[in-house]
């Protein structure tokens, strides 16, 4: 069944719809469903604009984004899940549904029925098949029909909100041409480089210099609020309920673990804004930690197969460590700053020589200023330039230069560059004409999604969300 979801024909039919429900995220931990228990200390998952979000509503939102991801990735879902922050997506879903309710956006039963009937993975012989529908819900999505149908209703509501937000998004021909050029036009440049790493090798710093630097900049080395957690992972459904009950009664974690034949693990100290070592990001846990003290249990956390139980072993308040404890960090930071300064000074010398002779040879300048010179192969926007890095800043800068014109100093994470265009291979106008309509359609979808993402970010910024 999952394979059926991944067929290109089926994927194409649902991709645009799912694109407005699945919000891309970069956190790495999909765990997030807090264990439901009547005696839960928290009692609710969070608050949006003053309204408490029940654990049940949060769980339903988690199921909703999970099932949308299953429809999108099919049998690749387990592989892709580690790249999806379903927890954050669940809160996005709740926020969007809250906004849709405010705008009185609704979905009828008829709309729900019609959409489900159109899903290709519920069809057999080009018609909706109720038996296949029930089997897929049971074995793939693992939800009851009424829950899936309510998720579908919510998806329709969000899609209507998406349409309302993005319907006035337009693109003109200049934008189409510009974006097409980015993907197809090739550029080659001459360059001068002044890399931080080249200067850092020759930097020597005395211990007294490091000590003086630390004294003047000690706040830069302040360690954040930190925690060390003990935790157990329970994989048996038969044992989960009893474990939750014992946690609520504040039983000792080691005794709980011993009684079910598992061991207690530790995360080791990690900062308040850091991912949990070995586990990843969890906004709920990290927010709960700020209110906890040593010995406190955190609300148990569930994914589809396991229960995680956490207890705070150590809470370390923010502090500035002794110089001897972080001497290497001080040295690294000083070296980085000094290398950046020296690299900038040398590149400025190179630029000055060019200003005195606008047609100056880059290779000759490199020899007299302790810089490096080179020439790139043809590259497109969004590609990787061998020995240089991401092409975007070089491509966009090159497009602004006239014949034989030299750029200003370009700042990159690795160092400083100056470039001059060697050649530009323009787009194939005939090919552009043939691909124009299809490209414009895809670009418009992209722009609409960007507009909706911006709208969502605005909702987040202007809404009061407390986890």
Q: Are residues 193 and 342 in the same domain?
A: yes
Task: Write out pLDDT tens, residues 357-401.
Answer: 877 899 999 999 989 999 999 999 999 998 898 999 999 999 999
* pTM recorded for the entire structure: 0.68
Q: Are residues 198 and 339 in the same domain?
A: yes
Residue 390 domain flag: yes
Tokens 């846990």 sit on residue: 285
Which range marks the domain in which residue 241 is found? 223-316
Q: Are residues 332 and 288 in the same domain?
A: no
The pair of structure tokens assigned to 9 is 């024909």
Q: Are residues 302 and 375 in the same domain?
A: no
Q: Are residues 244 and 156 in the same domain?
A: no
pLDDT in tens, the chain (467 residues): 444 444 444 444 444 444 444 433 322 233 333 333 433 444 567 788 888 888 788 889 999 999 999 998 888 888 888 788 888 899 999 999 999 999 999 999 999 999 999 999 999 999 999 999 999 999 889 899 999 999 999 999 999 999 999 999 999 999 999 999 999 999 999 999 999 999 999 999 999 999 999 999 999 999 889 999 999 999 887 888 889 889 888 999 999 999 999 999 999 998 887 888 877 766 667 778 888 999 999 888 776 678 889 999 999 999 999 999 999 999 999 999 999 999 999 999 999 999 988 778 999 999 999 899 999 999 999 999 988 989 999 999 999 999 889 999 999 999 999 999 999 999 999 999 999 999 999 999 999 999 999 999 999 887 765 55
CA dist list (Å): 130 to 133, 134, 136: 5, 6, 10
Q: Are residues 45 and 141 in the same domain?
A: yes
Rg (CA), the chain: 28
Q: Are residues 28 and 147 in the same domain?
A: yes
CA dist list (Å): 439 to 15, 120, 125, 168, 429: 17, 26, 33, 19, 14
Task: Write out pLDDT tens, residues 149-201.
Answer: 999 999 999 999 999 999 999 999 999 999 999 999 999 999 999 999 999 99
Q: Are residues 258 and 119 in the same domain?
A: no
Any residues with CB less than 8 A from the CB of 163 and at least 6 apart, and which? none
CA angle 467, 232, 254 (to 5 degrees): 120
Q: Which of 407, 433, 448, 444 is nearest to 184 (CA)?
A: 433
Q: Are residues 47 and 112 in the same domain?
A: yes
Domain count, the chain: 3
Q: Are residues 192 and 236 in the same domain?
A: no
Q: Are residues 308 and 368 in the same domain?
A: no
What's 346's domain CATH number?
3.10.50
């Amino acid at each position: 069944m999952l394979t059926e979801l991944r067929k290109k024909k089926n994927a194409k039919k649902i991709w645009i719809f799912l694109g407005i429900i699945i919000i891309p995220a970069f956190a790495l931990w999909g765990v997030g469903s807090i264990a439901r228990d009547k005696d839960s200390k928290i009692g609710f998952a969070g608050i949006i604009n003053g309204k408490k979000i029940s654990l049940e509503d949060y769980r339903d939102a988690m199921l909703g984004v999970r099932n949308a991801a299953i429809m999108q990735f099919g049998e690749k879902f387990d592989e892709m899940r580690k790249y999806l922050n379903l927890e954050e997506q669940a809160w996005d879903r709740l926020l969007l549904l809250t906004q849709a309710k405010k705008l009185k956006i609704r979905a009828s039963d008829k709309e729900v029925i019609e959409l489900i009937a159109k899903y290709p993975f519920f069809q057999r012989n080009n018609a909706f098949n109720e038996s296949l529908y029930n089997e897929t819900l049971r074995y793939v999505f693992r939800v009851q029909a009424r829950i899936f149908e309510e998720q579908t209703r919510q998806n329709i509501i969000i899609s209507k909100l998406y349409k309302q937000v993005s319907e006035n998004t337009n693109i003109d021909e200049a934008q189409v041409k510009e974006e097409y050029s980015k993907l197809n036009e090739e550029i080659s440049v001459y360059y001068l480089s002044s890399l931080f790493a080249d200067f850092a090798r020759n930097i020597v710093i005395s211990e007294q210099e490091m000590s003086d630097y630390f004294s003047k900049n000690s706040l830069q080395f302040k360690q954040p609020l930190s925690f060390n957690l003990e935790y157990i992972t329970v994989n048996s459904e038969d044992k989960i309920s009893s474990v939750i009950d014992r946690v609520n009664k504040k039983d000792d974690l080691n005794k709980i673990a011993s009684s079910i034949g598992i061991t207690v693990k530790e995360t080791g100290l990690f900062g308040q804004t850091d991912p949990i070592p070995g586990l990843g990001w969890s906004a709920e846990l990290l927010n709960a930690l700020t209110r906890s003290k040593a010995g406190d249990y955190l609300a148990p956390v569930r994914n589809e197969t396991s229960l995680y139980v956490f207890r705070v072993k150590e809470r370390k308040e923010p502090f500035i460590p002794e110089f001897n404890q972080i001497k290497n960090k001080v040295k690294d930071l000083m070296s980085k700053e000094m290398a950046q300064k020296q690299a900038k000074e040398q590149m400025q010398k190179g630029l000055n020589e060019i200003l005195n002779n606008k047609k100056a040879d880059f290779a000759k300048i490199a020899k007299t200023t302790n810089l490096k010179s080179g020439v790139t192969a043809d590259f497109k926007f969004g590609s990787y330039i061998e020995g240089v890095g991401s092409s975007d800043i070089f491509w966009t800068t090159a497009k602004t230069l006239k014949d034989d014109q030299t750029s200003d100093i370009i700042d990159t994470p690795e160092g400083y560059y100056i470039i001059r265009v060697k050649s530009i291979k323009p787009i194939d106008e005939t090919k552009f004409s043939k691909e124009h309509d299809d490209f414009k359609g895809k670009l418009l979808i992209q722009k609409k999604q960007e507009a909706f993402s911006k709208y969502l970010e605005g909702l987040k910024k202007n809404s009061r969300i407390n986890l």
